[in-house]
Amino acid sequence: MKVLYCTSEARPFAATGGLADVAGSLPQALRARLIGCRVVMPLYEEIPQSLRDNMKFITSLSVPVAWRRQYCGVFEARSGGVIYYLIDNQYYFKRKGLYGHYDDAERFAFLSRAALEMLPYIDFRPDVIHCNDWQTALVPVYYSIFYANNEWYRGIKTVFTIHNIQYQGKYGKELLEDVLGIPGSALPLLEYDNCVNMMKGAIETANRVTTVSPTYAQEILDPWFSHKMDTILRERSWKLSGILNGIDTESYNPETDKDIYANYSVQDMSGKAVNKLELQKRLNLAETPDVPLIGMVTRMVAHKGLDLVKETLDQLMWESNIQFVILGSGDYEYETFFREMQNKYPGRLCACFGFVPELSRKIYAGADIFLMPSKSEPCGLSQMIALRYGTIPVVRATGGLKDSIQDSGDGEGNGFTFQSYNGGDMLYAIHRALEGYAQADGWKILVDRAMKSDNSWGRSANDYIRMYRDMLKE
């Protein structure tokens, strides 16, 4: 089986979020299972020169973009044994930043068309084309309109994965023909809520639609989660499923991680205490080994549950002997709040601002409890990373958090969960975790169970392969 994985970002080349982690890891896991998976993405200006030096020019072609044709260069690179095709067009991609440009609709329409046009030139005919988020949502649309009846392309199946339904690629209908190059007769495929919606087009035309967790696949049928897409998703629910993302268990490995203070394992946990002590020193927290340390690594925005934290943190600090650390950046409101709380609770609370990868790993390794009270979470990776480092998650049971964290109240789970989105329920879950921490022998058993949780990409890859095979049988 051969798969072409279409993405707007992928590690190690260019990344802004979780999609890049998926595109950098899932193809490797598929390849390890003898699936011929290759990746296509833009050749952005921001890709480091060190990676560019190892790229090889393959071919060039002319790609139709509505009424005009644009140059397309195809460069090949390898990462983790996977072949990456990087699409070169300096007009579209020689810019600062991956997204947020006035002509993003045209830029990613070009990428989507180029991904299909290049295939005969590179002599790679996939069985499955797997597209991700709105930036490549036009691939199944273009395929169904222009390529499905072409002898060379006939029989290829398409999959579209929704990583975050909030971002849909919505534009005015005037773009349809002159910018996207889609005939007016095909407007019903993309028209939704009186505009062109690229995600809607992919939902209509792809053979399968997936999300990044089974629970999120169900949640987005509900208007509260769907950002108005629930109607079309319910109509096409027969093709919708959810597959939980994984994490790179080689990178996130407390036995070998060079960014943490001391390595440790399930068999020898002594290094975790060292990480806690050194983290306390770095963040000017009291060096008290027995006081539970609660950590957060997050974007400081409302849907990550920061309003619940803001509502309850003062009470938690008053009534419980804990330490608290948060790393992230985001809305001014939350950054200001955590600065005030740091001043109010010196030696007990530390707020760190920005994106600091090495510090995030030190928090995963050094904290005892990891708080993730998201209002919505398509998949979430932080809770899986926390498990890997033996830091017990407290999460709201939504999306991928619900699928990866099971409450330990039954003696079988790997964390603590709460259902309703309110501060009281979150506090109750935290208090249950603190009670568990106070019981040293039981806590060791829980940590052991957490670290043995399987959140590898191997599990996810097997689920994708089953879905691909079922689809190809049709």
Q: What span, in angstroms and rounded, lies between the C-alpha atoms of 209 and 160? A: 5
Q: What is the mean pLDDT of residues 171-188?
A: 96
Q: What is the mean pLDDT of residues 245-274?
A: 96
pLDDT given at position 355: 86
Structure confidence at residue 231 as a pLDDT band (50, 70, 90): very high
Q: What span, in angstroms and rounded, lies between the C-alpha atoms of 277 and 293? A: 10
pLDDT given at position 409: 85
**DSSP secondary-structure letter at 237?**
G
**Looking at the predicted structure, is the pLDDT value of residue 227 above 90?**
yes
**Any residues with CB less than 8 A from the CB of 384 and at least 6 apart, and which?**
246, 247, 404, 453, 455
Q: Which one, of 11, 50, 13, lies nearest residue 248 by Cα?
A: 11
pTM: 0.93
Q: What is the mean pLDDT of residues 23-36?
A: 94
Residue-wise pLDDT tens digits, 386-421: 999 999 999 999 999 999 999 998 889 999 999 999
CA atoms within 13 Å, Cβ hemisphere of 36: 7
pLDDT given at position 452: 96
Residue-wise pLDDT tens digits, 64-82: 999 999 999 999 999 999 9
Domains of the chain: 2-246+458-473 (3.40.50.2000), 270-453 (3.40.50.2000)
Residue-wise pLDDT tens digits, 347-374: 999 999 998 999 999 999 999 999 999 9
**Max Cα separation, the chain?**
70
Q: What span, in angstroms and rounded, lies between the C-alpha atoms of 415 and 450? A: 7
Q: Is 6 exposed, middle or buried (0-12, 13-18, 19+ CB in 10 A)?
A: buried
Structure tokens at 64: 């139709």
Alpha helix positions (H), 345-397: 357-366, 382-388
Please name the helix (run of DSSP H) or strand (run of DSSP E) that holds residue 352, with its range, or none: strand 349-353
* Three-class SS state of 360: helix
**Looking at the predicted structure, is the pLDDT value of residue 18 above 90?**
no
